Amino acid sequence: MHFDHSYAQKLSDMVSQVRISPLLEPELALYNEQLAEDIELKNEFSQPETLFDALFKADGYFNLNAVAQKYGGHQFGGWNPDLGDGRGVLLAEVVTQKQRSWDLHLKGAGKTPYSRFGDGRAVLRSTIREYLASEALHSLGIPTSRALCLIASKETVYREQPETGAMLIRACQSHIRFGHFEYFYQTKQLDKLDKLFTYTLQKHYPWCINHENPHYSMLEQIVLSTADLIAKWQAFGFCHGVMNTDNMSIHGITFDFGPYAFLDTFDPEYICNHSDHNGRYAFDQQPGVALWNLNALAHAFTPYISIEQIKQALTQYETRLQIHYAELMGAKFGFKKVTNDDMKLVNQWLALLAQDKRDYTQSFRLLCDENLSQSKLTDHFIDREQAQVWYQAYMARVAEESLPKNERLVTMREANPKFILRNYLAQNAINEAENGSFEECKRLLKVLSNPFDEQPEFEHYAQTPPDWGKSMEISCSS
């Protein structure tokens, strides 16, 4: 393992040198030892003194090399050129022995040239939510940035009300967003756009370089990986909440967590962001929004590839999304190969869940019950007659599978989590942390690290939300 700073060095005219503002009485509250091991990060950073020296001392390694990145983005459909790392800084790139590279990025670092009117801080509430969500998604097999550590403090920051300041170090392949390419294209800084493309191809898409048209190959890869990501979000019931193009990663990973939510009651029109008044980022709008965002990104490719080639790349999105979504849903129902008729059965199930306002995760887990019977399934619904019709059609389809029942159910349990990060569970952990204890955060992380297992000792974490935890309004404010 060694540290690199290739983005800051090769694209130095696209970043600003920043000094990290220390938090008042920092505390290393959570540290992801497994992630640190995976990316071959030295164990010494699990020691608060070593980590804080690197971050906060004037000559600290991370502090000396911290930079904020410049980018733009389409926010709720409107172009905004005045964006950038307003509270985050790129610390370094960890390069493993196998030459895999991981960005280390600090959120809540203090003011940068792109903070606009903000204080550059993150609050404990949103920092805990990002830590929990990124690790929950990772354990579900959904591509995501990861949380390395959470630093709490005694510092007060002001949002709608006074809150506690915190920091998060996260890791991912890179922090290059759709908005990076958009900004330099929209502002006609084509020399910088060219440097950004050259860097990205060499660093992150080297296999595209030998392609007949490297830029087309890169766009195609971004389209396909984004389609795969959205298919997973839809299959597992994850709602991002703020799919602005500056929150979209070129690596097809879940990125920049804000007012996200996993579905409790299945509502295809569910809006998790209380600032999303028109439902632009509602759950069932995510596939279309991702394609809209890819179209916005594709404009930056026009100096390099033709409009026809761009259309050719973008038209692969819908097909890839549908195929991968069908595969994921087929696994959830225990189907080996999914047909169009199977997808009709899937959609009938979803319509039944929406009509009777059933819990998304619990309903799918019910299908994995070895004692599932017609009466047990119909008892789960209000419309028992329609549920009975669906059950009979489903069991007739399952009978066509060659797998023995026990093997099929094992396979289904590997596709249908028992535990998800419900907003009320996150809020419970936040409440305890704001009172000085991170034990609930740690317990919740343990549960979420094995989402498909039964874990009978944690059965209460699989329950539907109490009344106060239903339809919680989550804001972007952090």
Determine which one of 85, 246, 264, 276 is catalytic.
Answer: 246
Number of residues assigned to the chain: 478
The 10s digit of each residue's pLDDT in 394-437 is 999 999 988 899 999 999 999 999 999 999 999 999 999 999 99
DSSP three-state, residue 18: coil
Report whether pLDDT(474) > 90.
Answer: no
Cα 136 to Cα 448: distance, rounded to the nearest angstrom: 5
- pLDDT attached to residue 477: 57
pLDDT digits (tens, 9 = 90+) for 13-43: 999 999 999 999 999 999 999 999 999 998 8
CB atoms within 10 A of CB 403: 14
Q: How confident is the model at residue 478 (pLDDT cuts 50, 70, 90)?
A: low
* Whether 246 is catalytic: yes
Contact 397, 336 (CB under 8 A): no
8 A C-beta contact, residue 30 and residue 446: no
What's the confidence (pLDDT) of residue 45? Answer: 92
Residue appearing with tokens 């199930």: 349
Burial class (CB in 10 A: 0-12, 13-18, 19+), 84: buried
Question: Helix H segments across 77-177?
Answer: 124-140
Q: Does residue 219 surpass a pLDDT of 90? A: yes
Among 98-107, 293-302, 354-363, 382-391, the least confident range: 98-107
Q: Tens digit of pLDDT for each residue in 276-296?
A: 999 999 999 999 999 999 999
Do 286 and 230 meet the contact criterion of CB atoms below 8 Å apart? yes
Which helix (H) or strand (E) covers residue 322, if one does?
A: helix 316-333
High-pLDDT (> 70) share of the chain, %: 99
pTM, whole model, 2 decimals?
A: 0.97
CA–CA separation, 323 vs 310, rounded Å?
21
Contact between 209 and 216 (Cβ < 8 Å): no
